[in-house]
């Protein structure tokens, strides 16, 4: 699962007021290089939730990352964003709904978001 996907994922378990962002508990994280496409990153940019991305990166690193809001986006920033959005894969771990603490396990890079009929 890429962090890009994580940035869009939201939990809709019954009883959550705000199921976003999901907390990541990664046990196996892999970096796969992919070709950089700055146009693609630019396109994705307006849809991103920046605080959620920072939180996700922090979850993965388990340390505080520097928080900076750059308005003028340079190539290097795009590169860094691309690395985090497209190259970092969470292979094994857990997603945790912030509202209800419902855990969604990740296996083989595929998060299991299945909800039972009574959970919706």
Residues near another protein (CB under 8 A): 1-2, 4-5, 7-12, 19-20, 32-37, 39-40, 43-44, 47, 49, 86-87, 108-115, 117-120
Using the minimum distance from each CB to another protein, give the nearer residue, 68 or 118: 118
What SS3 state is found at 72?
coil
Spatial contact of 84 and 99, defined as CB atoms under 8 Å apart:
no
Q: How far apart are CA 79 and CA 41, in angstroms?
A: 9
Using the minimum distance from each CB to another protein, give the nearer residue, 17 or 62: 17
In the complex, minimum distance from the CB of residue 107 to another protein, in angstroms, rounded to a whole number: 9
In the complex, minimum distance from the CB of residue 10 to another protein, in angstroms, rounded to a whole number: 5
Structure tokens at 79: 């590169």
In the complex, minimum distance from the CB of residue 89 to another protein, in angstroms, rounded to a whole number: 9
In the complex, minimum distance from the CB of residue 119 to another protein, in angstroms, rounded to a whole number: 8
CB neighbour list of residue 91: distance below 8 Å, 6 or more residues apart: 28, 29, 30, 106, 108, 109
């Amino acid at each position: 699962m890429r962090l890009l996907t994580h940035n869009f994922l939201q939990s809709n378990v019954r009883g959550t007021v705000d199921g976003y962002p999901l907390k990541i508990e990664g046990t196996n994280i892999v970096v796969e290089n992919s070709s950089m496409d700055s146009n693609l990153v630019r396109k994705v940019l307006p849809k991103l939730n920046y605080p959620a991305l920072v939180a996700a990166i922090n979850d993965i690193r388990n340390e505080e990352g520097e928080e900076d809001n750059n308005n003028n986006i340079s190539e290097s920033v795009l590169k860094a964003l691309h690395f985090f959005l497209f190259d970092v894969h969470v292979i094994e771990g857990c997603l945790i709904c912030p509202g209800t603490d419902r855990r969604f396990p990740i296996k083989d890079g595929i998060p299991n978001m299945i909800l039972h009929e009574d959970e919706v």
